[in-house]
Amino acid sequence: MPPLGAGNGCAGRGRAPPRRERGALRRQDHRRRRGRHRGGVRTARRPGKTRAGDRERTRAAIRLRARDLRGHVARGVRIRRAALQTIRGRLGMSANVVTAKKAVIPVAGLGTRLFPASQAVKKELMPVVGPDGIARAMIHYHVSELVAAGIEDICIVAQPGDEETIRAYFAGPGPDLLRRLEKTPALAEEARRMREYNARLHVVFQREQEGYGHAVFQSRAFAGGEPVLLCLGDHLFRGAPVSPYRELAEMVGRGGGRSVSAVNRIGPAQLKGYGTIAGARRKDFPRLIDVTRIVEKPDPELARRELRVDGLGADEFLGWFGMHLLAPSIYDVLAQMIRDDVRDNGEFQLTRAQDLQRAREGYLALDMPAAERFDFGTPADYLESLARFAQ
């Protein structure tokens, strides 16, 4: 008679279980102990479910954290919008603002006035230290201010062959330098933003030096029938409480489809460097001026006699600030000028096109008394503007 349990897989009294069963029992006991490794809180996991369960719990935690972050961001956006509405209200600006979405920065000049430094570094890439102590390329400030103003696409008008250099700058540092920058969070954040800016950039070329108006005309396809915010490439701009970039971009709605140029007060000695206007201030918004005449670099006597705007002193004039919100029709005017070979001093000038546009459909100017302009076009201006801009 066989021992008890010998034929049914069960261990008989006084005898150890078979080797196969002992192994199974050890594995089962190990799983129980592993499930109690946190003071008995966790129970044994079923084989095959462990990793899947961990992944699902991780995903749930990430979703919860992302939801919290979205909440923080949304609250921040609401606070910023409320602040902007307050500022606009104090400035007499509408809270429901239509804004330009495209900008153009011409940088196709030869940099003759900054030679020989411009042989080594393109003028638009020369370093400028900001108030935060960070050294950036000059064009970097334009791009960052334009993006902050709500501009979505930026066209850089460059010389042939310059795109690679500009793209390389905004592509930011490689992995090795980026690891070093992590020790300085402000610089690491700057590198991240540069890559974001790079995705917004479009580059077109001015293949012949035919004047500022000719350079602007190269961005016609980019504009695509929309207004564009044009910024002088060798100037920088700053203002408070609202950035001049944002304020001019938001003139799309108030301008009624017409071009709007930023202007500020200049004296007789500065007339030789700027287009200058005559016009009448609007009663509902005195900073906005209906322009009746535009003259490029007038002599003081002509300016005193014919280029007057109410509210200015005898030797005060309103000249181009260096930023223009251009209506789409400016490209039609420039095209006609180029076709008819209408030049000033051998070049196609933007100021001539602006005055022709004014005669056809009207033109506006926005007085920016609180904004600052920084000219980097000559060695003396560069040195002086470097010191002022860093303050």
Residue-wise pLDDT tens digits, 113-138: 999 999 999 999 999 999 999 999 99
The answer as to whether 352 is a domain residue is yes
Count of structural domains, the chain: 1
What is the residue whose two structure tokens read 């070093």? 180
Q: In this predicted model, what pLDDT tens digit does every residue of 204-257 receive, in sequence order? A: 999 999 999 999 999 999 999 999 999 999 999 999 889 999 999 999 999 999
The answer as to whether 155 is a domain residue is yes
pLDDT on residue 92 = 46
The answer as to whether 47 is a domain residue is no
Say if residue 40's pLDDT is above 70.
Answer: no
pLDDT on residue 63 = 63
pTM here is 0.75
End-to-end CA distance of the chain: 105
Supply the range of the domain harboring residue 212: 107-389
The answer as to whether 31 is a domain residue is no
Antiparallel, parallel or unpaired: β 275-281 and 102-106: unpaired
The answer as to whether 38 is a domain residue is no
What average pLDDT does this structure show over 330-341?
99
The answer as to whether 51 is a domain residue is no
pLDDT on residue 241 = 87
The answer as to whether 286 is a domain residue is yes
Specify the CATH number for the domain of residue 312: 3.90.550.10
Say if residue 16's pLDDT is above 90.
Answer: no
Three-state SS string over the chain comes to: CCCCCCCCCCCCCCCCCCHHHHHHHHHHHHHHHHHCCCCCCCCCCCCCCHHHHHHHHHHHHHHHHHHHHHHHHHHHHHHHHHHHHHHHHHHCCCCCCCCCCEEEEECCCCCHHHCCHHHHCCHHHCEEECCCCCEEEHHHHHHHHHHHCCCCEEEEEECCCCHHHHHHHHHCCCHHHHHHHCCCHHHHHHHHHHHHHHCCEEEEECCCCCCHHHHHHCCHHHHCCCCEEEECCCEEEECCCCCHHHHHHCHHHHCCCCCEEEEEEECHHHHHHCEEEEEEECCCCCCEEEEEEEEECCCHHHHHHHCCECCCCCCCEEEEEEEEEECCHHHHHHHHHHHHCCCECCECCHHHHHHHHHHHHCCEEEECCCCEEEECCCHHHHHHHHHHHCC
The answer as to whether 71 is a domain residue is no
